[in-house]
Amino acid sequence: MQALYGQLMLGLINGSFYALLSLGLAVIFGMLNIINFAHGALYMMGAFCAWFLLHFFGLNYWWALVLAPLLVGIFGIALERCLLQWIKGLDPVYGLLLTFGIALIIQGLFQNYFGSSGLPYSIPRELSGAVNLGFMYLPIYRGWVVVFSLAVCLATWFMIEKTRLGGYLRAATENPELVRAFGINVPRMIMLTYGLGVGLAALAGVLSAPINQVGPLMGARLIIVVFAVVVIGGMGSIMGSIVTGFALGVIEGLTKYFWPEASSVVVFALMVVVLLVRPAGLTGRTA
């Protein structure tokens, strides 16, 4: 039973990263209609940013939680202003190809300077150790990752779905001319939306750094699974990405316990089933 509980905990941790990354993808696709294949590379940049802040500036994990999403978000805004704005209104496949190329360039640059091996990033002292729950020992940092990720996901959903700012964002993507007539700067809102999605990816990278070693390939290994999560939840669905991310993490963990050989394909098998039954995804809007 301890092994089962351990796999469930591992599934929740993976689900936290799936949820944060798929949430960022859903925000970008739902608001900008861009399939952002560079998301994995930006997740990796968030982890490297935390490592740089610690080793070159002496800024610890708590500073990295704030600064890394901000810095990578600014980098994402620069990408949107310099490159992505030119494919606005075109078929989403152009955005996929462009961001795929950007991801290869970023990954190649980091791999050229740091190689393929990972760099260690220590758990902050305040979150080290474990708690005895009676049926298992829960590492404090891993519990923090699950709770903090869920809080960030729900706060993002609330901002987009329940606030006036979120209403402006949705309106700016559906009818930009009307929103512009009310004096709202639509390009700026689109730019900030992309920065928000990228910042969520970088935040996931910072959370992942003490668990997984910081390396240039860490995003490439994760992004395919995250795209499957987004497809299952429904492209552009905020709550669908959150729920599906955590749920698939748990399902993957249970599969590793009961049928380890199928753990690497269970997410994609579920994606195929969902696409056959409901092509728009579990919570996506049908045409």
Residue 182 above 80 pLDDT? no
Phi-psi region of 34 (alpha: psi -120 to 50; beta: other; left: phi over 0): beta
Q: Is the pLDDT of residue 208 over 90?
A: yes
Residue 183 predicted with pLDDT over 80: no
Rounded Cα distance between 287 and 246, Å, is: 27
Q: How confident is the model at residue 173 (pLDDT cuts 50, 70, 90)?
A: low
**Average of per-residue pLDDT across 106-119:** 89
Q: Are 153 and 238 in contact (CB under 8 A)?
A: no
Q: What is the pLDDT of residue 28?
A: 83
Give the residue with greater pLDDT, 169 vs 75.
75
| pLDDT tens profile 31-52 | 777 888 899 999 999 999 999 9
**Mean pLDDT in residue range 138-154:** 92
